[in-house]
Structure 1
C-alpha cells in the first residue's frame, strides 16, 4: 500500500506485526567531510544551511571523527573518504540505503549531489564486499533522496514519505518498491522543509519524535502520533530548529542526536524518551550542522 489517505494507512499499519526485520541496523557507514564547504545548489532549498563564512572544515572533520568513534562503540561503523567535488557527501543516507540483501542508490535533485551516486568505492563495498544486489534509481528522472525523504519503521515495514522538491510521488513509489515496504504514507512537507528526517524520527519501531511545524497537514501529525502513542515526543519550534527531530536509534535502548539538540530537548520530552526505554546520547556537531543537516543525516544504515 502507498497512499495519502491517513485513515487507510492507519487501518493497515495497526495490523502490521513487528516482524518485517530488525528494528535497528546491524552496521553503519559514514562519509568524511573532506572538502566540507557551502554547496550553493543545495542551499537553494535547504533553509537550515549557514552562510559560507561560517563553515569550519577543520572543526567539522574533528567532530565527524568523534561521531565515528562514538558509533563504533555501539555497532560496526565504516567511514569512506570525502571529496572537495562533493561537499555534501557527509550526508550519505540520502544517496545510499539498504534493505535485507540489497542496496539502493537514490536520485538526488541537485547535480552536485548526483556525483555522489557514481562512487565506485561505495558501490563496490555493497556489491563486492557485502554481496548485496543493486537497485539503482539514480539515472531515472524523479528525485528520491532515500532516507532523507523517507523515514522507515524497519520493524513493521512502514514508510513515511514527505514530498518536496527532493522527492516527488513517483520517486516515493520507486523507493517504496526498492525497500520492499508493506505500506507508505505520502504527505506534503511544510513550505521550507526539504527532508522528512529533519521533522520525524521513528525510534526502534516503538517511539517517534515529531516536529509538527514541519508538516503541511496537521492530520498527518495526528496519524503518526496515534500509531506510536504513548511514546511520542512532540517538538517545540525551538527543538525543531535545533534538529531534535534529526535523531536515530542504532540500538534498542539509545537515541542519538547532536549535542545542540540534546541541550535544547526539554526535560519533559527527555522523560518521554526514558519511559519509552531510551537514554539520550549526543555528539557535538555544530560545525557539521552549518551544512544543513545533523546527526541522523550523517548516518548510512546497513541492514
Structure 2
C-alpha cells in the first residue's frame, strides 16, 4: 500500500506486527567532509543551512572523525573519502540506502548532489559484498531516500514527506525499491526539506516527532499513536536544535548531536529512558552549518 490517505494507512499500521526485518542496521557507512563548504544549490531549499562564513572545514573534519569513533563503539563503521566537488557528500543517507541484499541509489534534486550518487567506489563496495543495485538516480523524479523517507524497519512502514526533494512518483519508486508493506505520503510544512529532520523512528518501538514540520497536524498525532507511549513530541526548540535528526543503531540507544541533546526537555529525556533508550551524542555544530545533523551523516547497512 502507498497512499495519501491517513485513515487507510493508520488503520493498516495499527495492526502491523514488528516482524518485517531487523529494526536496526548491522553496520553503517559515512563519507568524510573533504571540501566542506556551502553548496548554494542546496541552500536554495534548505533553510537550516548557515551562511558561507559559518563553515569551518577543519572543525567539521575533526567532529566527523569523532563521530566515526563514537559510532564504532556500537557497530562496525566504514568511512569513504569525501569529494571536494560534492560539498554535501558528508550526508550520504540521501543518496545511498540498503535493505538486505540490495543497494538503493537515489535521485537527488540538485546537480551538485547528483555527483554523489554517481560514485563508483561506493557502488563497487556493495557490489563486491554481493548487493544487487537498484539505481533510481537516472530517472527524473526526486527521491532523496532516507532523507525524504523515514522507515520503520521492524514493521516495513514508510513515512514519506513530500517537498522539492521528493515527489509522489519518487515516493512510489522508493516504496517499491525498499519493498515496504505500506507508505504514507504527506506534505511537509513550508520550509521543510527532509522528513528526517522532523521525524525519527527509533528501533521500531518509539518515534521522535516535531509537529511543526508537517503541513497537516493530524499526521504527526497519528504517527505518535502508532507508537503509543513511545510517540514522543518534540518542542519547537528541540526541533530547531535537530533533535528530530536522530537515529538508533542498536535497540538500546539513540544518537543525536550534542546541541540536540542539550536542547532536550526533561520530559523528552524521561520518555526516551522509559522506552529503553540511552541518549548518546557528539558535538556536530560545525557540520550542522551545512543544514543537516547526525542522522544525515549515517547511511545504514542492512
**Deviation at residue 223 of structure 1 after TM alignment:** 1.1
Q: Which residue of 2 aligns with 1:2?
A: 2
Deviations 1:139-177 (A, max 9, x none): 000000000000000000000000000000000000000
Deviations 1:31-71 (A, max 9, x none): 00000000000000000000000100000000000000001
* 1:130-279 equivalence runs, <5 A: 130-279=129-278
**Deviation at residue 222 of structure 1 after TM alignment:** 1.3
Instruction: Count residues with an aligned counterpart.
Output: 302
**Deviation at residue 15 of structure 1 after TM alignment:** 1.9
Distance of 2:130 and 2:13 partners within structure 1:
31
2:86 corresponds to 1:107: no
| RMSD (Å), alpha carbons | 0.5
Aligned to 2:229, the other structure's residue is in SS state coil
Aligned to 1:160, the other structure's residue is in SS state strand
* 1:52-63 equivalence runs, <5 A: 52-63=52-63
**Deviation at residue 8 of structure 1 after TM alignment:** 0.7
Aligned to 2:242, the other structure's residue is in SS state coil
| Structure 2 stretches lacking a partner, 5+ long | none
Deviations 1:162-205 (A, max 9, x none): 00000000000000000000000000000000000000000000
Distance of 1:155 and 1:172 partners within structure 2:
20
**Deviation at residue 23 of structure 1 after TM alignment:** 0.3
Distance of 1:102 and 1:75 partners within structure 2:
20
**Deviation at residue 27 of structure 1 after TM alignment:** 0.3
Distance of 1:233 and 1:267 partners within structure 2:
12
**Deviation at residue 229 of structure 1 after TM alignment:** 1.2
Deviations 1:246-279 (A, max 9, x none): 0000000000000000000011100000001001
Deviations 1:189-237 (A, max 9, x none): 0000000000000000000000000000011111101101111221111
Q: Which residue of 1 aligns with 2:286?
A: 287
| Structure 1 stretches lacking a partner, 5+ long | none
Q: Which residue of 2 aligns with 1:68?
A: 68
Name the TM-score, length of structure 2 as normaliser: 0.99
Q: Which residue of 1 aligns with 2:94?
A: 94
